[in-house]
Chains A and B, each alone.
Chain A
Amino acid sequence: ILNVEQSPQSLHVQEGDSTNFTCSFPSSNFYALHWYRWETAKSPEALFVMTLNGDEKKKGRISATLNTKEGYSYLYIKGSQPEDSATYLCAFTDSGYALNFGKGTSLLVTP
Chain B
Amino acid sequence: EAQVTQNPRYLITVTGKKLTVTCSQNMNHEYMSWYRQDPGLGLRQIYYSMNVEVTDKGDVPEGYKVSRKEKRNFPLILESPSPNQTSLYFCASSLSWGRVTGELFFGEGSRLTVL
Chain A bound to chain B: yes
The reply to whether A103 and B40 contact each other, CB–CB distance below 8 Å, is yes
From A13-21, A62-70, A94-102, the one touching the partner chain is A94-102
Closest Cβ neighbor of B96 among chain A residues: A96
Task: Tell me which residues across on chain B come within 8 A of A31, comparing CB atoms.
Answer: 99
Asked if B101 and A51 sit within 8 Å, CB to CB, the answer is: yes
The docked-state distance in angstroms from the alpha carbon of A45 to that of B3 is: 12
Tell me the smallest distance from the CB of A94 to a CB of chain B, in Å.
11
Per-residue interface assignment for chain B, residues 16 to 42, with 1 indicating a CB less than 8 Å from any chain A CB and 0 otherwise = 000000000000000001010000111
Given A44-B90, A103-B40, decide whether A98 and B45 contact each other with a Cβ distance below 8 A: yes
Closest-CB distance, A109 to chain B (whole angstroms): 22
Q: Does A25 interact with chain B (Cβ within 8 Å)?
A: no
CA of A42 to CA of B56 in the docked complex: distance in angstroms? 27
In the complex, chain B residues whose CB is within 8 Å of the CB of A77:
none
**Is B106 part of the binding interface, using a Cβ–Cβ cutoff of 8 Å?**
yes
Chain A residues in 8 Å Cβ range of B59: 1, 98, 100
Contact-residue bracket for chain B? 20 to 34
B66 within 8 A of A: no
Interface of B is mostly: loop
Task: Report if A43-B106 is in contact (Cβ < 8 Å); known contacts: A31-B99, A93-B100, A99-B100.
Answer: yes
Contact, CB under 8 Å: B42 / A102:
yes
For residues 83 through 115 of chain B, which have their beta carbon under 8 Å from a beta carbon of chain A?
Answer: 90, 96, 98-109
Is the CB–CB distance between B104 and A97 below 8 Å?
no
Q: How far is the CB of B64 from chain A (nearest CB, A)?
A: 15
Q: Check B76 for interface membership: any CB of A closer than 8 A.
A: no
Q: Kindly state whether residue B11 has any CB partner on chain A within 8 Å.
A: no
Rounded to whole angstroms, the CA-CA distance of A42 and B35 in the bound complex is 15
Chain A residues contacting B102 (CB-CB under 8 Å) are 49
**A residues bordering B, Cβ < 8 Å?**
1, 4, 31-32, 34, 36, 42-46, 49, 51, 89, 91, 93, 95-104
